[in-house]
Amino acid sequence: MRIKEKVAIVTGAASGIGRATAQELVNQGVKGIALVDLNAEALETLSAEINEAAGKDVSIPCAGDVTDEIFRAQVFDQATDRYGIVQITVPAAGIFRDRLAVKIERDSGAANIYPAEVFRQVLEVNLIHPVYWAMEMIARIAVERNRQGLKKWRAEENVQGTVIFIGSVSSQGNRGQVSYASTKAGLEGAASTLMKEAMFHGVRTGVIHPGFVDTPLLQGMPDGYVEQNILPDTQLGRLIRPDEIADAICFMIRNSAVSGQLWADAGWHPAAA
> Does 115 have pLDDT greater than 80?
yes
In a domain, 145, yes or no: yes
Largest CA distance in the chain: 68
Does residue 86 belong to any structural domain of this protein? yes
The per-residue pLDDT for 229 is 73
Whether residue 235 lies inside any domain: the answer is: yes
Confidence of residue 86 (pLDDT cuts 50, 70, 90): very high
Residue range 198-212: mean pLDDT, rounded? 95
pLDDT confidence of residue 214? 84
Residue 62 lies in a domain: yes
Average pLDDT, the chain: 92
Q: Does residue 171 belong to any structural domain of this protein?
A: yes
Residue 192 is predicted with a pLDDT of 95
Q: What is the pLDDT of residue 165?
A: 98
Quick check: is 1 in a domain? no
Taking the C-alpha atoms of residue 242 and residue 134, their distance in angstroms, rounded to an integer, is 22
Q: Edge to edge, what strands does the sheet with 260-264 contain?
A: 59-63, 32-37, 7-11, 88-91, 161-166, 203-210, 260-264
Q: Is pLDDT of 269 > 70?
A: no
Q: Label each residue of 146-200 as H, E or C.
A: HHCCCCCCCHHHCCCEEEEEECCHHHHCCCCEHHHHHHHHHHHHHHHHHHHHHHH
pLDDT per residue over 2-60, tens digit each? Answer: 999 999 999 999 999 999 999 999 999 999 999 999 999 999 999 999 999 999 999 99
d(CA 99, CA 108): 19
In a domain, 2, yes or no: no
Give the pLDDT band of residue 69 (cuts 50, 70, 90): very high
Query: Where residue 116 sits, what CATH number does that domain have?
Result: 3.40.50.720
Q: Let me know if residue 193 belongs to a domain.
A: yes
pLDDT tens-digit map of 225-240: 778 777 887 878 888 9
- Tell me the percentage of the chain whose pLDDT exceeds 70: 96
**What is the per-residue pLDDT for 271?**
61
pLDDT surpassing 70 at residue 272: no
Number of domains within the chain: 1
Domain that holds residue 202: 7-264
